[in-house]
Amino acid sequence: MGGESIRVGVLLPTREAVMSGRLDAAPLLALAERVEAAGYDSIWVGDSLLARPREQERYYLASQRRLIWWRLKKHRLAMLSLWFLVALYGIIPVVEFLSPYALRTRHPDYVYFRRNVAGVQREWWTHRHGCGAWFLAERDTRTNEVLKVELPS
């Protein structure tokens, strides 16, 4: 230990270049020239430029979005649901064209544009917040007074 000197070197970051898809050697060569000019004893280059990335490192360097996508691709029901939703959203612009009825054909005239006769009317009502039963009510549309209520027989 007395007369030995410590030798220091630099390992070039080739694995990151391969994993990120940037296989341009110019930045690595520039870094190697700077390391050599700084006076380091050695420069190491891994076999990363020739070797395929290990599967484990793909997961370490992947973004959160990519991890979720890889997990989703393995789930068949999720992929089927994804394509089903894409198809539904794709139909939205042409849904009126595919409809068997025109926009105002079915019964909006009855619901929205029927004659609203002033006077006593028999109407079906439901007790929505209570028992849910349907009943007939006679109501005067001029005063909104309920005249008679009866259960259907």
- DSSP code per residue over 117-139: -SSEEEEEEE-TTTT--EEEEEE
48 has pLDDT over 70: no
Is residue 137 a contact partner of residue 146, using CB atoms and an 8 Å limit? yes
pLDDT of 153 higher than 80 = no
Question: pTM score > 0.95 for this model?
Answer: no
User: Averaged over 123-128, what is the pLDDT?
Assistant: 86
Quote the Cα angle for 126-131-135, to 5°.
35
d(Cα 106, Cα 102) in Å, to the nearest integer? Answer: 8
pLDDT number for residue 9? 81
Q: Sheet of 145-150: strands edge to edge?
A: 120-126, 134-140, 145-150
Distance of CA 117 to the CA centre of its chain: 51
Band of residue 84 on the pLDDT scale cut at 50, 70, 90: very high
Q: Which two tokens stand for residue 149?
A: 């209520």
What pLDDT score was predicted for residue 27?
80
Q: Supply the mean pLDDT for the chain.
A: 79
Structure confidence at residue 26 as a pLDDT band (50, 70, 90): confident
